[in-house]
Amino acid sequence: MEFRHVFVCVNQRPPGHPMGSCAEKGSRDIYAKLMESIQMDPELFMSVIVTPTGCLGPCGLGPTIVVYPDAVWYGNVRLEDVPEIVNSHLKGGKPVDRLVVSKGKPPGMF
Amino acid sequence: MEFRHVFVCVNQRPPGHPMGSCAEKGSRDIYAKLMESIQMDPELFMSVIVTPTGCLGPCGLGPTIVVYPDAVWYGNVRLEDVPEIVNSHLKGGKPVDRLVVSKGKPPGMF
């Protein structure tokens, strides 16, 4: 299994903030579920790390996740999507196309 | 200039914690200086983003920075090293070898 580094935005803005935030939309639970999935699987434990981050940029598309070195950007991720990301992408090497909002640069970057 | 995504650990542990932390060793100033360098340079502004993170793992080697998609891990970074990282790596595409602690996986990972 190839090494992958998963970054999950857990930025929290106050309720009512015009930008919203990934944490407001449930990203901390997504982070926790991803961590648990990796910790519980010996193969994933040896090849994947997950890191919580501050703002990744595309707040309107959050919860946002980016996976490197592939540079696959996921948006509008829900808690229920975590097993598919884990199995298809992190274990199988195949990104979950329906959740991909950009490859390479972040969505909306020049 | 190629797109690069720079992640800076800004994890803060309390003084006296046996693990130490990147923020305790000055990583928040490093993050701020990197951000300022990118914001002030039109070319970098178009091609590089910088994201603060929670713990990246190799606390003993902190302050820790990882640059993707290259997957270059920097350790023991000091505030004075920022211009060299910006000019050599982010602008010139050549990592600063004397600060590199791993390429690909994080240092110490199986």
Helix (H) or strand (E) holding B83: helix B82-84
pLDDT of residue A3 exceeding 90: yes
What does the pLDDT look like over A58-85, one tens digit per residue?
A: 999 999 999 999 999 999 999 999 999 9
- Interface residue A5 vs chain B (CB under 8 A): yes
Picking from A54, A57, A71, the nearest residue to B68 by CB comes out as A71
Q: Give me the CATH topology for the region A4-103.
A: Glutaredoxin (3.40.30)
Residue A84 pLDDT: 98
- Interface residue B57 vs chain A (CB under 8 A): yes
What does the pLDDT look like over B30-48, one tens digit per residue?
A: 999 999 999 999 999 999 9
Instruction: Work out the percent of chain A whose per-residue pLDDT is above 90.
Output: 95
Q: Is A66 helix (H, G, I), strand (E, B) or coil?
A: strand
CB A72 within 8 A of CB A66: yes
Q: Which of B28, B53, B56, B72 to mutate to test the interface with A (most CBs of A within 10 A)?
A: B53
- Interface residue A57 vs chain B (CB under 8 A): yes
What does the pLDDT look like over B76-90, one tens digit per residue?
A: 999 999 999 999 999
What does the pLDDT look like over A18-73, one tens digit per residue?
A: 999 999 999 999 999 999 999 999 999 999 999 999 999 999 999 999 999 999 99
What does the pLDDT look like over B54-72, one tens digit per residue?
A: 999 999 999 999 999 999 9
Cβ–Cβ below 8 Å for A7 and B53? yes
The count of other CB atoms within 10 Å of the CB of residue B100 is: 15
**DSSP class per residue in B25-57:** TTHHHHHHHHHHHHHH-HHHHHHEEEEEES--S
Q: How far apart are CA B5 and CA B10, in angstroms?
A: 16
Q: How far apart are CA A70 and CA A104, in angstroms?
A: 8
Which alpha helices (DSSP H) does chain A contain, by range? 27-40, 42-47, 82-84
Q: Domain residue spans in chain A?
A: 4-103
For A66, nearest residue in chain B (alpha carbons): B5
Pairing of strands A100-103, A72-74: antiparallel
User: What is the complex's ipTM, to 2 decimals?
Assistant: 0.96
Number of A to B CB contacts under 8 A, please give it. Answer: 54
